[in-house]
Structure 1
């Protein structure tokens, strides 16, 4: 049991951990997946607290960071790791800054509605998202073997051009980043988003077979796979009603919602 002033660590199974930031309004989850030879950290959180102090307590294996997408709340601690992968279509944002979001807006969002004390090192007025060159790229359909555990990458654009989901083939966990989660709307209304791509990506993940649990990067930790059946119905509804375009607002379904 790891106790920390900022992060909440929840064990999913013997080799899978959620590292959550419930004190921030975004309720961000990063995920540590441990294999026999290496570990994968899916995203690195907000950057308010040092996530490596948590991962160092959970594994001694070398850690590969796989980025679901390049938004500030998912790359906050990338500078604490040597090996970072991202989809090529988000690589420019990682190296040169996040398109369509000003630093002023990012600082407002990172510093608001925080409900627990933050580390003394955090200052929202000077907060700057990580920028740097990735170690390499992950591609659609790529299988990552970390030793007795295999992960497959799905390129699922829409929320960002290079957004990916990761399916843990071994344990049948589907990590959906910001493509699918509950409680608050999935965002596809920024100029840098693409509503058509997002709905196509939702349709794609709804067809993944034998999912045992869905892990989005915000809000409730772990959704039942039946939500994928609802996703199929939602995609059909949105397309038939010609709602897949900017400005049509929030569309609510059983267990999730989308904002265009």
Structure 2
């Protein structure tokens, strides 16, 4: 395991790494997938420290940044990379700022419950999430080949309009961003979220075949694919009970929960 003052690097396999920020309450994970010709970095973390310092140690291949969604804890180091992609549904947020989340709230969230020393460059009082124009836009069904490694993009809105999940076709790894993880609720309770879309997106990923591991962007690193069957069961219950709407609160299931 690579030693670093802020990031924790964990090898999933010799060409796949999780880069985690366990010193922050959100316990956010970014993921580096290395091909023969390029590497893909799924999200760039909180921006409290520079994730490029880590990726430079893991590969010298050109890095393509794939954005699961435009929230501050997933785009923090976007400015360090030249090639950035986002789903068209979140393009406006990346260019003009995140909708529905005031900067004051973002700064409160970024600065609270930190358990590791932060670099001198981090100042929560002046913290501003990355804004900039992406290199290109992603769409549902896009396939990206980085050299003997192909990933497929699934548009999975709800948490944000342009949220995506990413399937590594070679290994069966499913990277679900903030659509599915354990320990804390997956949420769609802000005005900028959509509970119906979120449940439809959960249904969509539950039907992806040959998934070997589910990697959410928070909390436990790597969930067994049996959780996708639990997701199917939860979807039915949520719909039958009429809970798929804002204001119905937290709903707990086996292995995960959602909040509307």
**What is aligned with 2:67?**
67
d(CA) in 1 for partners of 2:26, 2:254: 21
**What is aligned with 1:99?**
99
d(CA) in 1 for partners of 2:72, 2:195: 21
Gaps of 5+ in 1: none
Question: How far does residue 64 in structure 1 lie from its aligned partner after superposition?
Answer: 0.1
Deviation per residue, 1:203-260 (Å, 9 max, x gap): 0000001100000000000000000000000000000000000000000000000000
**What is aligned with 2:192?**
192
d(CA) in 2 for partners of 1:132, 1:194: 25
Tell me the TM-score normalized by structure 2: 1.00
Question: How far does residue 158 in structure 1 lie from its aligned partner after superposition?
Answer: 0.1
CA RMSD in angstroms comes to: 0.4
Aligned pairs (5 A) from 1:109-148: 109-148=109-148
| 1:242 pairs with 2:242 | yes
d(CA) in 1 for partners of 2:214, 2:132: 30
d(CA) in 2 for partners of 1:196, 1:123: 37
Deviation per residue, 1:14-40 (Å, 9 max, x gap): 000000000000000000000000000
d(CA) in 1 for partners of 2:52, 2:31: 12
**What is aligned with 1:252?**
252
d(CA) in 2 for partners of 1:150, 1:33: 10
d(CA) in 1 for partners of 2:37, 2:183: 36
SS of the equivalent of 1:44 reads coil
d(CA) in 2 for partners of 1:249, 1:47: 30
Question: How far does residue 156 in structure 1 lie from its aligned partner after superposition?
Answer: 0.2
**What is aligned with 2:85?**
85
d(CA) in 1 for partners of 2:104, 2:73: 15
**What is aligned with 1:230?**
230
Question: How far does residue 2 in structure 1 lie from its aligned partner after superposition?
Answer: 1.4
SS of the equivalent of 1:246 reads coil
Tell me the TM-score normalized by structure 1: 1.00
Gaps of 5+ in 2: none
Question: How far does residue 191 in structure 1 lie from its aligned partner after superposition?
Answer: 0.2
d(CA) in 1 for partners of 2:187, 2:21: 19
**What is aligned with 2:155?**
155
Aligned pairs (5 A) from 1:159-238: 159-238=159-238
Deviation per residue, 1:128-180 (Å, 9 max, x gap): 00000000011100110000000000000000000000000001000000000
Question: How far does residue 120 in structure 1 lie from its aligned partner after superposition?
Answer: 1.1
